[in-house]
Amino acid sequence: MKRNFVDLWEISPEEGWSILQDALSIKRGIDKERYLEGKNIALYFTKPSTRTRVSFEVAIAQLGGNTIFLQENSLQVSRGEDLKDTARTLSRYVDGIVIRTDSHKKLEEFAKYSDIPVINALTDMAHPCQILSDIFTLYEVFGEDVRSIKIAYVGDGNNVCNTWLVGAGLFGLKLFVATPEGYEPSSLYYQAGEDLCKITGGSIYLTTNPVEAVRDAHVVYTDVWVSMNQDRKEEKLQALRPYQVNKELLSYAKPEVKVMHCLPAKKGEEITEEVFESYADFIFTQAENRLHTQKALLKFLFSTST
C-alpha cells in the first residue's frame, strides 16, 4: 500500500519520532544508504520555491534518485486536462511526486487518483514538510525534552500555523498560538491537533494576546503575514502589527529563547531586521534541516509503500 504525506496526521506519533531519529543519523553521516537508487521522483510546482525545491532535489539526488521538475504551464492540465488523468498518467512514469500548489483540494484529488506516494510541498492549508523539519530542529537542540518546553507561534493563522497545531499534537508538544481576531488557524487543523494531544499528552492554547503566548517561551516562531498569491491588504497588516517579533516582545520570553522563521522573511513586518540577524544562525540551521528531514521522510515513505 502506498503512503502519502499530504497532511502531518498521515503518520503516527511513533512513525514521526522514528523519522526524526533517522534525520539525525542522516545529518550526522551515520546513515549514508541510497534509499532511492533507480527511482524517478517528479516535482510538480505551481508556486515559486527556493528552499523546498532545492532541498528536495538535493535530497533525492543524494539518496540515489532522479528528479523531473514540472511546472503547471508546461503540462496539459493547464489546457484543461483532468487532474485525475494527469495523476494516473504520471503514476505510470515516475515512482513518487512532490507537489506545491495553492489548492489543498487539488492535492487531495491528485493523491486520490495517484498510484504512487504523493508529498505535500506546501498548499494553502498545510506545510507538513516544513513543520516536520522544524520539530526536528528543536529535537536536535532539546532532545526528547522538546515535549516539556514552551513553543510560541505569533502572527497569521496560515498554513504553517495550521500544521504546527497538528505537529504539537503528533509529538506531544506544548504550543501557544497568538493570532488576531479574524486571522485564526483552521478549526479543522485545530481539532486534529487536539485529538492527537489526547493521545500524546501535548497541549494547544489559542490566544489573541502575543505577550501571553511569548511569556516564558523557550521558542518563538513567526512567518510572513502575507502568503504567496494573497493580496497585501492594509487591514490585515494593521491587525498583525502588534504580533511583530521584536526586542520588546522577546523580553517576555526566556533569556535563552530560540527564534524560528520558515523563510522567506519580510523584515520590518513579522520580524525586525535586528532580531532576525541576532538569530540568523539558528534560522538558517532550521532551513538546512529541511534537507536532512526530507531525506528521512523519503526513506520512510519508500520503505513503507508497497
Of 90, 36, 92, 35, residue with least CA distance to 66: 36
Average pLDDT, integer, range 257-268: 98
- DSSP secondary structure code for residue 5 in this structure: B
Average pLDDT, integer, range 233-242: 94
Residues 224 and 197: beta-carbon distance below 8 Å: no
- DSSP secondary structure code for residue 79 in this structure: G
Crossing angle of helices 51-62 and 280-304, rounded to 10°:
50
Q: Which residues pair with 222 in a beta bridge?
A: 261
Please determine, for residue 25, whether its predicted confidence score (pLDDT) is greater than 80: yes
- The angle formed by the CA atoms of residues 31, 36 and 41, to the nearest 5 degrees, is 135
Supply the pLDDT for residue 78.
82
Band the pLDDT of 103: cuts 50, 70, 90: very high
Supply the pLDDT for residue 229.
61
What percentage of the chain has pLDDT greater than the value 70?
98
pTM as predicted: 0.97
Element (H, E) at 100: strand 96-100
Please determine, for residue 239, whether its predicted confidence score (pLDDT) is greater than 70: yes
First to last CA, the chain: 5
- The angle formed by the CA atoms of residues 287, 30 and 10, to the nearest 5 degrees, is 55
Burial class (CB in 10 A: 0-12, 13-18, 19+), 26: buried
Please determine, for residue 73, whether its predicted confidence score (pLDDT) is greater than 90: no
Catalytic positions, please? 100, 127, 130, 223, 262, 290
Supply the pLDDT for residue 133.
99
Average pLDDT, the chain: 97
Distance CA 79, CA 174 (A): 46
CA distances from 90 to 69, 77, 110, 221, 293 (A): 12, 12, 10, 37, 25
- Could you give all domains of the chain from N- to C-terminal order, each with its CATH number? 8-126+290-304 (3.40.50.1370), 130-286 (3.40.50.1370)
Please determine, for residue 305, whether its predicted confidence score (pLDDT) is greater than 90: no
Average pLDDT, integer, range 270-289: 99
Distance CA 153, CA 213 (A): 7
Supply the pLDDT for residue 306.
67
10 Å Cβ neighbour count for 166? Answer: 26
Distance CA 133, CA 297 (A): 10
Helix (H, G, I), strand (E, B) or coil at 247: helix
Q: What is the pLDDT of residues 111-156, one digit of tens each?
A: 999 999 999 999 999 999 999 999 999 999 999 999 999 999 999 9
Please determine, for residue 218, whether its predicted confidence score (pLDDT) is greater than 70: yes
